[in-house]
Structure 1
């Protein structure tokens, strides 16, 4: 099979035997920024796949530039053939870039049917194709893909009930062979049953996750793909696969590129800090217009740094981040600031001693806060909501029921202690 994006010209496409394939849901509807695309990259590069199917919402809206961008991205990164499903964000130009919206993939073991319900209804062409392809190519394993899910107990964001009734009349005679209905659209992951047929809704391939129901397993509230495979008896099975701590290492194998990314990340972090600092300075001087501009630039540089960090594979799951942060705080307390302080004192660098001392005291508090938070998170719990304050003079962090009157480290007055 062809590697990369498969632009289908035929309605019925015969494919090779396979071991496994993946379904990637909704990678692009929240924008094609690098943070989003880094999740999509991990999905496209997932090992051991014979092909992938994107379950719709590949672009945020119908712009040829966005279609060009995502087509090039898929062609560059995918390690196996990629088929596409039309989502409600993809309607304009979909056929030009991806080919048929209504099609089937078939071999001796499986029939995969892709239908278009991107406007919440199945078109007459979809229903007629379904009737024909089931009659002519039914297999022991049948999967039916469509972007917007039917009525379910998890999310009200579903397709038209009347259209589903028409669809149901066609598939019911083949119910015993239909192993899955697969949808995207809802940025979550859940499983259900429709006429005793498993329904899988997967929208975790890059878009911002939605927390749609308390009934959803907390372990599934992550970016993910769904792996499908045939067992020893040629029966179709599936597995949920988290993308949370998976890395996309290919580009970092280029040492020069990795150095460029690291330098760009550091420069953006510095720029973020400087623009924020000068925004505060402008506001103090009554220059509200300039302050607002500098704040906007500071925010922009933050997102640039975040995107570079995503490409560098430096952002991990929240649990891993808490553990790593505790280790970093311990290093700063026991080694870094300890050594820096000793050097500053030994060489009579009083000003440097001040800034190291202020930071050291704050890091001790940070470590305690993070340890408490990590312990709760490990049990699947949140910490209690509290009022936090930061001293804008030395950076000390408080948790207090009342606004502190003085900073215990630098002595700053109450108006210098800011509520978070």
Structure 2
């Protein structure tokens, strides 16, 4: 069975290419999950609405990037239903979808990422190559195996396996005439973040990974040393929309893909010869589709 990423990479290769294109980013959807049936249906419609809103843009995006927490429970039926809907979307609109792992992709709060590997991507860290732009998708939520204790203690690159090495390899092998975008779930716990209304905030322990540990410092130093190459860092995890500039690199936090029901949005970027534009935030128009099943708390229920 091909993973979502394999299908997306194959689709991307088949599409016509230009040095000028667009892409969309969003995160934190909790697809089709809720504490009630109504919440689950709403999140289903927000998630599909986000994809449909992206597909309606003119010209349409070359690809869509998701910053993790697409599912909530990490249960196999949840992954299966997500895979079915994403494959339908890619078949219909011919827009590839790529997903970085989030903490909710674990099968259970402290479970493994085995089902992420089975359904979304066999590699927890991988790259997406487009004309003069390389997107590096990173796992910064901890090891792919089951973990113990507070899962927030694993955020960052200290215990995320090959993430840091893969990041450096893909960064160093980026062609000289290309730029880079980095996608990961958890932001670093530094900088000041600014919302669209001008209010600001800083990240708490659970919201970001610490910047003082050796591998996390190495990651941020590598970004800083390559700030002329790295165009944007795209993160989620915090259910808000905000921007920051850390070591001269623009960060965009978009965690309003459905986990929080309300001001849901996607972010559109223009790319011209590798140069990535400032973000354009677009409100999500909810889909009119209804699910055939919903995930309510820990149960899978038919709908209606």
Fold agreement, TM-score > 0.5: yes
The runs of 5 or more residues in structure 2 that have no matched partner are 35-39, 107-112, 143-154, 193-200, 292-302
2:29 — aligned with what? Answer: 27
1:133 — aligned with what? Answer: 170
Aligned residues: 237
1:160 — aligned with what? Answer: 210
> Which structure exhibits the higher relative contact order, with contacts defined as CA atoms closer than 8 Å and separated by 6 or more residues?
2
For normalisation by structure 1, the TM-score amounts to 0.51
Q: Mapping of 1:166-177 within 5 angstroms?
A: 166-177=218-229
The runs of 5 or more residues in structure 1 that have no matched partner are 210-220, 252-256, 262-306, 309-420
User: Structure 1 pair 30/247, CA: closer, same or farther in 2 (3 Å)?
Assistant: closer
For the aligned residue pairs, the C-alpha RMSD in angstroms reads 3.0
The C-alpha deviation readout for 1:209-251, integer Å capped at 9, x for no partner, is 5xxxxxxxxxxx82001111114x652114333335x2536x5
2:287 — aligned with what? Answer: 248
State the shift of 1:50 in Å: 1.6
**Which whole-Å CA distance do the structure 2 matches of 1:7 and 1:238 have between them?**
29
Q: Mapping of 1:197-276 within 5 angstroms?
A: 197-208=249-260, 222-231=263-272, 234-244=274-284, 246-248=285-287
**Which whole-Å CA distance do the structure 2 matches of 1:8 and 1:134 have between them?**
24
State the shift of 1:61 in Å: 2.1
State the shift of 1:124 in Å: 4.2
Is 2:93 aligned against 1:94? no
Is 2:126 aligned against 1:74? no
Task: Give the conservation status (yes or no) of the 8 Å contact 2:268–2:282.
Answer: no
Is 2:162 aligned against 1:150? no
The C-alpha deviation readout for 1:247-278, integer Å capped at 9, x for no partner, is 536x5xxxxx9xxx9xxxxxxxxxxxxxxxxx
User: Structure 1 pair 124/69, CA: closer, same or farther in 2 (3 Å)?
Assistant: closer
State the shift of 1:178 in Å: 0.8
Task: Give the conservation status (yes or no) of the 8 Å contact 1:29–1:61.
Answer: no
State the shift of 1:29 in Å: 6.7
Q: Mapping of 1:38-57 within 5 angstroms?
A: 38-45=45-52, 46=54, 47=56, 48-57=60-69
Structure with more helix by fraction: 1
Task: Give the conservation status (yes or no) of the 8 Å contact 1:42–1:243.
Answer: no
For normalisation by structure 2, the TM-score amounts to 0.69
Task: Give the conservation status (yes or no) of the 8 Å contact 1:28–1:206.
Answer: yes
**Which whole-Å CA distance do the structure 2 matches of 1:222 and 1:164 have between them?**
32
Partner-residue secondary structure (3-state), 1:76: helix
State the shift of 1:96 in Å: 0.5
State the shift of 1:40 in Å: 0.7
State the shift of 1:42 in Å: 1.2
Task: Give the conservation status (yes or no) of the 8 Å contact 1:30–1:207.
Answer: no
Partner-residue secondary structure (3-state), 1:40: helix
**Which whole-Å CA distance do the structure 2 matches of 1:130 and 1:6 have between them?**
18
